[in-house]
Amino acid sequence: PSPIKTPPPAGWIPEPLQWSGSEQLPPESAKQTMQDYLLAWLALHPGDYDGFNQMVSQWPPIKYVGTEGSFDFPVDYVSWLEYVDLDGDGTQEDVVAFGLRDKNWAVLKYDGQHTRVVYSNPPRHYPPFEIPVSAFADDINCDGRIELVVQTRTQNTFGDYYTAQISQWDGTTWRDLGPIYGSGNDVDQPTIRFEDIDGDGCLEGLARVHPVKLVYMRPQTWIYTFQNGRYERTDTRSDPDDLSLFRMIDANRALSEGDTDSALALAMQALEHPESGRAMSSLDYFDISSATARIATYAAAEAMLVHALHNEPQAMQELLAQVEARYDRPDNPFLPAARELWETFDETGNALTACLAMERSIRLWNDWQFLPMASEQLELEQICPLD
């Protein structure tokens, strides 16, 4: 129900808001009063958000105590507005972004007498504050209902972050269908878009995630799919990168998808240049030689798997001999795993059986880390990409 218990009289104009000048930011009580003012104004002037903005902008500033500064009331208390029919009743709801300084968003509906609050996003009472950026409505998940997508942005010392909040309103119940997150180092990097990438006519959420300032990583696209009643992250697609670890990881993925040509090319690049990449040369707080030995040896094993799939045992032996000559060291668990791969294939002629034998070898070592501090690592169950 509307918070206004009695309708305001005709011609009502709110008194300019005031608070103690010792507070340089609007207190919570002022924020609530402003929301009540807006609803009362809309009861008399349905849909006249511009008129409310103009009135508020003319209020006298709040003078700060002990300084020459002041708080000036904004010209855009309501900073943007979208009209959408969320519940299919033929009348539109108002999706509004509003606030004296820190913005929030809400869905309002005029019922002929009052403008009521359908939904108000819970405000954050601590920084970093969210800034509502945009909104759109469509049936994005093919369920025959309209979804509302509101994107917000926030910022801290590590980077910029976008969130797309997906919701439904059927006239009775507000449903949260899940957030989608994007991130980056400046406001232009994080983006969230919706596309049909699998051809089923329904939209997936694609969030760009860029490197944060304290972690070695590469830009990624996080893919969100509607399942189990909400949007869930179902896949990650990384951008190509010259860091040998990432080439090795991409070769692993190519093998899992049956793309042996790409897998062989990427694995050989990582094997031949295991110290390549802008990150490796700057990581001086651990033994780079250990990391390069592990990366090169597993990359050789990936290339061996390609040759196993093509029944090319001679090429497998040559790759094994190459890493045995260069990377035979007690802290490299991937060399005995590569030997197990070759010996099992030599005995059985089956690439999958040999691949699983390699993974069992790593499982017994209980050590499969390649590069400390890297944002991407292979999990143990990914060591054999053929299963």
Q: What does the alpha-carbon distance between residue 304 and residue 102 come to, in Å, rounded to a whole number?
A: 57
The predicted structure's pLDDT at residue 275: 82
Most confident of 14-23, 120-129, 197-206, 371-380: 197-206
What is residue 376's predicted lDDT score, i.e. its pLDDT? Answer: 87
Neighbouring residues of 148: CB distance < 8 A, sequence distance ≥ 6: 84, 86, 95, 107, 135, 136, 137, 166, 167, 168, 169
**Residues 47-57: what's their mean pLDDT?**
96
pLDDT at 282 over 60: no
Q: Identify the CA nearest to 223 among candidates 208, 212, 234, 239.
A: 234
* CA–CA distances in Å: residue 374 to residues 123, 223, 245: 35, 21, 9
Nearest residue to 236 (alpha-carbon basis) of 191, 195, 206: 206
Q: What is the percent of the chain where pLDDT is above 90?
A: 68
Higher pLDDT pick, 184 / 243: 243
User: What is the per-residue pLDDT across 144-180, written as a single tens digit (0 to 9) for each?
Assistant: 999 999 999 988 777 788 999 999 999 999 999 999 9
Q: Is the pLDDT of residue 231 over 60?
A: yes
Q: How would DSSP label each residue in 202-219? A: SPEEEEEEPPPTTSB---
Q: How would residue 101 be classed by pLDDT, with cut points 50, 70 and 90?
A: confident
In degrees and rounded to multiples of 5, residue 347 shows phi and psi of -85, -40
**Whether the Cβ atoms of residue 138 and residue 119 lie closer than 8 Å to each other:** no
Start-end of H helices in the chain: 28-44, 49-57, 244-256, 260-272, 288-309, 313-326, 334-348, 351-365
Mean pLDDT across 107-129: 82
- The CA angle 306-352-315, to the nearest 5 degrees, is 30
pLDDT at 361: 97
Of the ranges 25-29, 61-65, 308-312, which is most confident? 308-312
Q: Nearest to residue 368, comparing CAs of 270, 298, 321, 283?
A: 298
Q: What pLDDT sits at residue 232? A: 97
pLDDT of residue 1: 38
Closest to 291 measured CA to CA, from 174, 203, 371: 371
Query: Confidence band (pLDDT; 50, 70, 90) for 285?
Result: low
Domain positions in the chain are 124-238, 244-382
Alpha-carbon distance of 324 to 206, in angstroms, equals 42
pLDDT value of residue 35: 92
Provide the token pair at 196.
């049909």
Q: State whether residue 45 is helix, strand or coil.
A: coil
Task: Tell me how far the alpha carbon of residue 310 is from its chain's centroid.
Answer: 39
How far is Cα of residue 278 from the mean position of the Cα atoms in its chain? 24
Determine contact, residues 17/59, Cβ cutoff 8 Å: yes
Mean pLDDT of 86-107: 93
Selected residue with higher pLDDT from 2 and 102: 102
The number of C-alpha atoms within 13 Å of 287 and in the hemisphere containing its C-beta is 8
Number of H helices, E strands in the chain: 8, 14
Residue with tokens 């040998």: 244
The answer to whether residue 122 scores a pLDDT higher than 90 is no
Q: Is 70 exceeded by the pLDDT of residue 270? A: yes
- Judged against a pLDDT cut of 70, whether residue 214 lies above it is answered with no
Neighbouring CB atoms inside 10 A of 280's CB total 20
